[in-house]
Amino acid sequence: MPYGYSSTFRGFPGGVSTRPEIMQMLAEDVLTDLAACGIAHFVFVDSHGGNDAPLERAARATQERLGIAVGHF
Protein backbone atom coordinates (compact mmCIF):
# COMPACT_ATOMS: atom_id res chain seq x y z
CA MET A 1 0.00 0.00 0.00
CA PRO A 2 1.51 3.34 -0.95
CA TYR A 3 0.20 5.17 2.14
CA GLY A 4 0.32 4.39 5.82
CA TYR A 5 0.56 5.90 9.26
CA SER A 6 3.53 8.25 9.47
CA SER A 7 2.80 11.23 11.66
CA THR A 8 6.52 12.09 11.68
CA PHE A 9 6.37 13.30 8.09
CA ARG A 10 3.20 15.42 8.38
CA GLY A 11 5.27 18.55 8.96
CA PHE A 12 7.14 18.18 5.67
CA PRO A 13 5.77 19.47 2.34
CA GLY A 14 4.15 16.56 0.53
CA GLY A 15 4.20 14.32 3.61
CA VAL A 16 1.03 12.21 3.63
CA SER A 17 -0.13 10.08 6.53
CA THR A 18 -3.30 8.20 7.34
CA ARG A 19 -4.66 8.01 10.85
CA PRO A 20 -3.58 4.75 12.52
CA GLU A 21 -7.17 3.49 12.65
CA ILE A 22 -7.53 4.06 8.89
CA MET A 23 -4.39 2.02 8.25
CA GLN A 24 -5.77 -0.76 10.43
CA MET A 25 -9.20 -0.70 8.74
CA LEU A 26 -7.64 -0.73 5.27
CA ALA A 27 -5.47 -3.72 6.17
CA GLU A 28 -8.48 -5.55 7.66
CA ASP A 29 -10.53 -4.88 4.51
CA VAL A 30 -7.78 -6.25 2.28
CA LEU A 31 -7.40 -9.37 4.44
CA THR A 32 -11.16 -9.92 4.58
CA ASP A 33 -11.57 -9.75 0.81
CA LEU A 34 -8.59 -12.01 0.14
CA ALA A 35 -9.87 -14.51 2.73
CA ALA A 36 -13.22 -14.54 0.93
CA CYS A 37 -11.30 -15.76 -2.15
CA GLY A 38 -10.07 -18.76 -0.15
CA ILE A 39 -6.64 -17.50 0.89
CA ALA A 40 -6.04 -18.48 4.51
CA HIS A 41 -2.41 -17.52 5.19
CA PHE A 42 -1.07 -13.97 5.05
CA VAL A 43 2.10 -12.13 5.99
CA PHE A 44 2.43 -8.37 6.32
CA VAL A 45 5.95 -7.26 5.38
CA ASP A 46 6.29 -3.76 6.76
CA SER A 47 9.29 -1.52 6.23
CA HIS A 48 7.99 1.44 8.24
CA GLY A 49 7.85 1.37 12.03
CA GLY A 50 4.84 3.70 12.16
CA ASN A 51 2.67 0.98 10.65
CA ASP A 52 3.68 -1.67 13.20
CA ALA A 53 0.89 -1.10 15.73
CA PRO A 54 -1.98 -0.66 13.23
CA LEU A 55 -0.91 -3.72 11.21
CA GLU A 56 -0.45 -5.82 14.34
CA ARG A 57 -3.96 -4.89 15.52
CA ALA A 58 -5.35 -5.67 12.05
CA ALA A 59 -3.59 -9.03 11.99
CA ARG A 60 -4.90 -10.04 15.41
CA ALA A 61 -8.45 -8.82 14.82
CA THR A 62 -8.79 -10.47 11.42
CA GLN A 63 -7.18 -13.69 12.59
CA GLU A 64 -9.65 -13.94 15.49
CA ARG A 65 -12.67 -12.92 13.41
CA LEU A 66 -12.01 -15.14 10.38
CA GLY A 67 -9.85 -17.92 11.81
CA ILE A 68 -7.07 -17.33 9.28
CA ALA A 69 -3.32 -17.22 9.86
CA VAL A 70 -1.82 -13.73 9.72
CA GLY A 71 1.82 -12.92 10.38
CA HIS A 72 3.47 -9.53 10.62
CA PHE A 73 7.12 -8.51 10.55
Q: Per-residue pLDDT for 55 more than 90? A: yes
Cα dihedral sign for 70, 28, 56, 51? positive
Confidence class for position 68, pLDDT limits 50, 70, 90: very high
Q: Per-residue pLDDT for 66 more than 90? A: yes
Alpha carbon of residue 20 to chain centroid: 9
> Closest Cα to residue 5, out of 15, 22, 14, 18?
18
Going from the C-alpha of 58 to that of each of 9, 13, 15, 41, 44, the distances in angstroms are 23, 29, 24, 14, 10
